[in-house]
Amino acid sequence: MTMINRSVQTLDEFTIQQLRMFPKATGELSRLLRDIGLAAKRINVEVNKAGLVDILGDYGSVNIQGETVKKLDVFANNQLTGVLRHGISCAGVGSEEMDDLVIFNDEVSNQSKYVVLFDPLDGSANIDVNVSIGTIFSVFRRVSELGKPCVEADFLQPGIKQVAAGYIIYGSSTMLVYATRRGVNGFTLDPSIGEFCLSHPDIKCPEFGKFYSVNHGNFFQYSKGVQDYITQCQKKTEATGGPYAQRYIGSMVSDVHRNLIKGGIFMYPGMTDKPNGKLRLMYECNPFAFIIEVAGGKATNGKDRILDIQPVELHQRSPVFLGSKGMMEELESYL
């Protein structure tokens, strides 16, 4: 018989403990995180089965970004939308997989104070080859009047207004990592009890690391500053402790997770033919910028802090550079 280790704190226990520190808190955020955790467990089951069942391959449709949608993306999108719709903490959602916002507009949801943006399955091109993928989410407190349906302005807020942001990584183990202004905490799914258990309390991103993560294939499309920095990463110098090791799996959740824990820098720069790069501000850049900053790192678009960017549309892209503070400052001296 599996014995439950009572010294291990589950995600629910942890969020409730945090809640008790604020007697006026309503518990809505805890419930929201629990809902996202539930969707994550369901997505995890399907991701783990991906090699076994005929769920691989293209779903056929093409998403707003012009990419072919995989079946698991659709499943993950539906799970997240479903749990948040049926919960009591979320007034509406925006997803990388959906052209438009979904405003729940029912009596309970209209009283909910949060809206959520998510990339249901980031790195999905990696599903077919058994590489870790992830879900990314971002939570804003709505600015519109409670009691009415939420509106686009609730979603189009700069990243600094995020109340929480996080990701789930479906890897050699499944982890949920989330940040609030109070800190970043990581929970590993214990499959024997089906619970996320606190495994990485109060994560801090080391000030310097050994890794730089960038798509080298695009090198000649980057600006001279970015090229110079990448070249510098490959050199041995006293000041930086380089050369750094290049690590790039093509799944942002995995690349940033590694650099968050071990120290490093992740870059998806603008390119000559795509000046805003590839990654989406609301679904990828903002949540990771928030997590990295709370953990002590930095995140910019090469000029400005990611979290200060006022979004103009839901699916906009942005160049992104984020990671260890010391390495980011080194990069800034080249840009």
Counting contacts by CB under 6 A, is residue 286 touching ligand AHG? no
Question: Is beta strand 211-213 parallel, antiparallel or unpaired with respect to 68-70?
Answer: unpaired
Q: How far is the CB of 274 from ligand AHG (least distance, A)?
A: 10
Looking at the DSSP bridge assignments, the partners of residue 266 are: 213, 322
Counting contacts by CB under 6 A, is residue 19 touching ligand AHG? no
Q: How far is the CB of 212 from ligand AHG (least distance, A)?
A: 14
258 vs 278, which CB is nearer to ligand AHG?
278
3-state secondary structure the chain: CCCCCCCCCEHHHHHHHHHHCCCCCCCHHHHHHHHHHHHHHHHHHHHHHCCCCCCCCEEEEECCCCCEEEHHHHHHHHHHHHHHHHCCCEEEEEECCCCCCEECCCCCHHHCCEEEEEEEEECHHHHHHCCCEEEEEEEEECCCCCCCCCCHHHHCCCHHHEEEEEEEEECCCEEEEEEECCEEEEEEEECCCCEEEEEECCCCCCCCCCEEECCHHHHHHCCHHHHHHHHHHCCCCCCCCCCCEECCCCCHHHHHHHHHHHCEEEEECCCCCCCCCCCEHHHHHHHHHHHHHHCCCEEECCCCEHHHCCCCCCCCECCEEEECHHHHHHHHCCC
Q: How far is the CB of 254 from ligand AHG (least distance, A)?
A: 8
Which residue's CB comes closest to ligand AHG? 252
Counting contacts by CB under 6 A, is residue 120 touching ligand AHG? no
250 vs 275, which CB is nearer to ligand AHG?
250
Counting contacts by CB under 6 A, is residue 285 touching ligand AHG? no
Number of residues that bind ligand AHG (CB under 6 A): 11
124 vs 324, which CB is nearer to ligand AHG?
124
Contact assessment for residue 194 and residue 213, using Cβ atoms and an 8 Å cutoff: no
91 vs 299, which CB is nearer to ligand AHG?
299
190 vs 255, which CB is nearer to ligand AHG?
255
Q: How far is the CB of 217 from ligand AHG (least distance, A)?
A: 7
187 vs 266, which CB is nearer to ligand AHG?
266
99 vs 238, which CB is nearer to ligand AHG?
99
Identified binder of ligand AHG from the candidate list 28, 35, 97, 122, rule CB under 6 A: 122
Identified binder of ligand AHG from the candidate list 123, 166, 263, 323, rule CB under 6 A: 123
Counting contacts by CB under 6 A, is residue 278 touching ligand AHG? yes
Identify residues 193-252 at the interface with ligand AHG (CB under 6 A): 215, 250-252
Counting contacts by CB under 6 A, is residue 125 touching ligand AHG? yes
Identify residues 31-90 at the interface with ligand AHG (CB under 6 A): 67
| Site residues, ligand AHG (CB under 6 A) | 67, 122-125, 215, 250-252, 255, 278
